[in-house]
Amino acid sequence: MNRRDFLKAVGLGAASLALPGCAGVSGRLAGEGAGDKPNIVIALCDDLGYGDLSCYGHPHIETPNLDGLAADGMKLTDCYAAAPVCSPARAGILTGRTPYRSGVYDWIPGNNPMHLKQEEITVATLLKKSGYATCHVGKWHCNGKFNSPEQPQPNDHGFEHWFSTQNNARPTHHNPKNFVRNGRPVGPLEGYSSALIVQEAINWLNKEWDRSKPFCLFVWFHAPHEPIATGPEFMEMYKGRKEAIYYGNVTQMDYELGRLMKTLDEMKLRDETFVMFTSDNGPETLNRYRGAHRSFGSPGPLRGMKLHMYEGGIRVPGIIRWPNRVKAGTICREPVNGTDILATLCAMAGVQVPTDRPIDGTNILPIFKGKKIKRKVPLYWRYDRALSKPFTVAMRQGDWKILADNKMTRFELYNLRDDIAEKHNLAGSEPKRIAAMKKTLAKLHTEIDAEGPKWK
């Protein structure tokens, strides 16, 4: 697929470029009245690239359920993860804070001291306090000492019911043995992790959810992260292609998400449920993993992949369905970050965001009325081990993105609206703009750097 076809596929074609903000939005804004708390599903993929879904232009991967979700709701063309790597991106979703503030700097190996500290306030904790039933299924990856009293677990961060793993499902994503349900190891399981976590979510909704409460359900898939394991029926769809295991894995995740959406329909919950689907970072950089060739994720037209500060590392699919609030088929070009989820869910639930600490994310409800998001804090990313070195820091304001090194001595500047592939560095030709952005970035960078805790 060429760039033009891709942009058309993701809704960035010439016709939509002429439209301000978000095209085709409804006039009603929910979450402003008491007793109007929607149910919430936040589905997160692991290492799913910007170009990996059919509705984002992938030429081969079939994702009919996500295509349908986008057709029934809103597709974000400029959706970001809070970091180009797993754990920080997840910490960003849970806290609404750029992950460097909470000290979740990198992906967390098992037994590592790094973790999302108890004093961090998560969106699950806030929603639970406001009367939500809360559930997490799938990959957690916000601590090193999983299911240990030494560090907070999903229940300590607001999830009443959890069926989770520290990082990947092990030994593989087929027949895993490392799931823990509410503090108790589950032991050997049969099946693929996407199916297992969705089934747990369905069981929770059917059997355990107290229907007098709204629910908040986080479905954090392991797919399509390594070690990729795909059911034969999904492999068969791509028979003859070397990428069959990866393409099939994305389709399998899509199928399972579809099963969850069907359950919402059967329970007559579709209209009162806000669903958001996104990814924790860009596609795997290495397609060699322990001698195998299993990762074939696509950043679409973007530069870089996972672990990069260029768009391929951080820009991800973002799909929202919220019937009667978000008009079907809406395409939105407003930049949205994973750190916006906390403020957005709080606004929907009528909950105050924490005021005793910096919250970087912003409530995105205005985009459902076709308005722009007014940010107090610009979109900011930092990853010290970025493969795009020397560029380990990035900031976006409007259409403009600045990249920098940690010492704020080297810079690149791109206009993402004109140059989605970040091919044309305009640092030398936009002196006024880059001077202003450098100043804003340096101030923000220093402030965030000072807040980040040190680990032993």
Question: Shortest Cβ distance from residue 107 to Ca ion (Å)?
Answer: 7
Nearer to Ca ion (CB atom), residue 128 or residue 139: 139
Report, in Å, the least distance between residue 394 CB and Ca ion: 18
Cα–Cα distance for residue pair 347/424, rounded to 1 Å: 38
Tell me the CA distances in angstroms from 106 to 13, 84, 296, 340, 374, one per residue in order. Answer: 36, 9, 23, 20, 29
d(CA 216, CA 34): 17
Interface residues with Ca ion (CB under 5 A)?
46-47, 86, 280-281
Query: Could you give the CA distance from residue 45 to residue 43 in angstroms, rounded to a whole number?
Result: 7
> How does DSSP assign 341-400, residue by residue?
HHHHHHHHHT-PPPSSS-------GGGGGTPPP--SS-EEEE-TT-TTTT--EEEEETTE
Nearer to Ca ion, 122 or 281 (CB): 281
Question: Which lies closer to Ca ion via its Cβ, residue 86 or residue 403?
Answer: 86
- Structure letter (DSSP) for residue 121: P
Task: Report in angstroms how near the CB of residue 46 gets to Ca ion at its nearest.
Answer: 4
Residue whose Cβ sits closest to Ca ion: 86
- Three-state SS at 442: helix
The nearer residue to Ca ion, 47 or 78, going by C-beta atoms, is 47
Name the residue nearer to Ca ion (CB basis): 116 or 346.
Answer: 116
Query: Whole-angstrom Cα distance, residue 151 to residue 36?
Result: 35
The total number of residues shown for the chain amounts to 456
CB of 225 to Ca ion, least distance (A): 6
User: DSSP string covering 200-266, please?
Assistant: HHHHIIIII--TTS-EEEEEE--TTSSS----HHHHHTTTT-TTHHHHHHHHHHHHHHHHHHHHHHH
The nearest distance, CB 368 to Ca ion, in angstroms, is 28
To Ca ion, the closest distance from the beta carbon of 146 in angstroms equals 16
Q: What is the dihedral of CA 85, 90, 91, 95, to 10 degrees?
A: 140
CB of 406 to Ca ion, least distance (A): 22
What element of type H or E holds 189?
none
Cβ nearer to Ca ion, comparing 219 with 377: 219
Show the tokens assigned to 445.
């960078």
CB 103 → Ca ion: shortest distance, Å? 18
Phi, psi (rounded to 5 degrees) for 356 = -95, 10
Report, in Å, the least distance between residue 389 CB and Ca ion: 19
Say which residues have a Cβ less than 8 Å from residue 432's Cβ, sequence separation at least 6.
none
Whether the CB-CB separation of 334 and 373 falls below 8 Å is answered with: yes
Q: Order of strands across the sheet with 393-397?
A: 379-382, 393-397, 400-404, 411-415
Residue 280 token pair: 């924790």
Task: Indicate the residue among 315 and 327 with the shorter CB distance to Ca ion.
Answer: 315
Q: Which is nearer to Ca ion, 16 or 87 (CB)?
A: 87
Least Å distance between CB 45 and Ca ion? 8
CA contacts within 13 A on the Cβ side of 79 = 32
Nearer to Ca ion, 46 or 256 (CB): 46
CB-nearer residue toward Ca ion: 153 or 281: 281
